[in-house]
Amino acid sequence: MALEVCVTKLRGGNKPSAPVFITDSSLWGILHLGGMWEFGKRLLWSNAVISLGAAACVLGTLHEAAPEEGLQSPHFWFAAGIGAATWLAYTLQRHIKSTRDGGLRPVHLAWHTRNWPRIRWWALAMLPLGAVPLAMTAEALWTGEIPVLTGLDALMMAAILLSVGITGLYAGMPGQRGMRHALRRLPGMKMVWIGTSWASITALWPAWWMASSGQLDIDTSLSMFIERFLVIAALTLPFDLRDRNWDQAYMRTWPQLLGTSGTRILGTAFLLAAAGLRFHLNPNVAMQDWIGLVPMAIAVGAAREDRPLAYYGLLDALLILDALLILS
């Protein structure tokens, strides 16, 4: 549905405001219907929504990096590849956590164990698509579309490779002892790792790949990175608040330190700062380029530990809404 709205707009169709509203409200409604509970779990626990959110973020970045060029078929392939890679990363991390005591909540663990054979086949099928951004970047380097890796280009490549490494080590290794190698267990760093990886992979990487003519400078790159980091960190805080009593105390996640009110305030402040950075990146920014942050702020401001499954689905879906508004 989200991809159809994007394509309609890019072909000159109507603005996707109504379809966007229908998409997100439908997701919210579906997850609240008792008869669709299993569908809701499958939609969220299969990482379908978050992978679509990653692809949408990439499309938004590509549009902002060169709005006058418009999105072409290669841009959609690049975004789809990042979405597939995100699905693979989240699925791998969930599986790793399922191999240790207390890694997943009992109901989530039971669902994952029951569906793992099918998930494994889906993972094999998704691998080629997840490798597309790597292949497209390698081709750009080989043909010289991306300049020699010096200066800013070297920094961009290093940031991307670092974030790929963070993603791989975030949950550690399988088994009970594998938790020792997990980056997420380091005190106060859980949200930092997530925000850094998302900002590098869904903002820096596509912008660097697209702006091969040297349009990208250090100020723009840094602003894009921080803006995406702030948005992802703000949306991650409610999840960490939900897990405040589930995560080990030594992890000292920000909601463990700040409590419910402090978490809400910090998340809202992050989104306000992200809005400011969007204006910095484009002083003539249109309303639809920042209005997607408003429902995010409302949702984050309503964070509680006991929110239902639909609330967390809505948080992920708001990434899709934000990107669609930017593309409109």
Question: What is the per-residue pLDDT for 232?
Answer: 97
Give the rounded distance of the alpha carbon of 209 from its chain centre: 18
Nearest residue to 320 (alpha-carbon basis) of 75, 55, 84:
55
* Total residue count of the chain as it appears in this document: 328
Q: What is the pLDDT of residues 147-158, one digit of tens each?
A: 767 777 888 888
Choice between 179 and 7, residue whose per-residue pLDDT is larger? 179
Q: Which of 178-187, 220-229, 279-288, 307-316 has the lowest mean pLDDT?
A: 279-288
Q: Give me the mean pLDDT over the 65-88 stretch.
A: 88
First to last CA, the chain: 15
pLDDT surpassing 90 at residue 85: yes
Q: Give me the mean pLDDT over the 115-141 stretch.
A: 92
Number of structural domains in the chain: 1
Choice between 80 and 35, residue whose per-residue pLDDT is larger? 80
Question: What is the per-residue pLDDT for 64?
Answer: 82
Choice between 135 and 6, residue whose per-residue pLDDT is larger? 135
Categorize the per-residue pLDDT at 215 as very low, low, confident or very high, splitting at 50, 70 and 90: low
CATH number for position 295: 1.10.600
SS (H, E, C) the chain: CHHHHHHHHHCCCCCCHHHHHHHHHHHHHHHHCHHHHHHHHHHHHCCHHHHHHHHHHHHHHHHHHCCCCCCCHHHHHHHHHHHHHHHHHHHHHHHHHHCCCCCCCHHHHHHHHHHHHHHHHHHHHHHHHHCHHHHHHHHHHHHCCCCCCCCHHHHHHHHHHHHHHHHHHCCCCCCHHHHHHCHHHCCCCHHHHHHHHHHHHHHHHHHHHHCCCCCCCHHHHHHHHHHHHHHHHHHHHHHHHHCCCCCCHHHCCHHHHHHHHHHHHHHHHHHHHHHHHHHHHCCCCCHHHCCCHHHHHHHHHCCCCCCCHHHHHHHHHHHHHHHHHHHC
In angstroms, the CA 74 to CA 10 distance is 14
Q: Give me the mean pLDDT over the 82-99 stretch.
A: 93
**Domain range for residue 127?**
2-327
Question: What is the per-residue pLDDT for 259?
Answer: 95
Question: What is the per-residue pLDDT for 38?
Answer: 63
pLDDT surpassing 50 at residue 33: no
Choice between 217 and 258, residue whose per-residue pLDDT is larger? 258
Give yes or no for a contact between 84 and 129, defined as CB atoms under 8 angstroms apart.
yes
User: Mean of the per-residue pLDDT values for the chain?
Assistant: 84
pLDDT surpassing 80 at residue 189: yes
Q: Give me the mean pLDDT over the 218-227 stretch.
A: 90
Categorize the per-residue pLDDT at 111 as very low, low, confident or very high, splitting at 50, 70 and 90: confident
Q: Give me the mean pLDDT over the 233-261 stretch.
A: 94
Question: What is the per-residue pLDDT for 181?
Answer: 85
Q: What is the pLDDT of residues 37-67, one digit of tens each?
A: 566 667 778 898 999 999 999 999 998 877 6
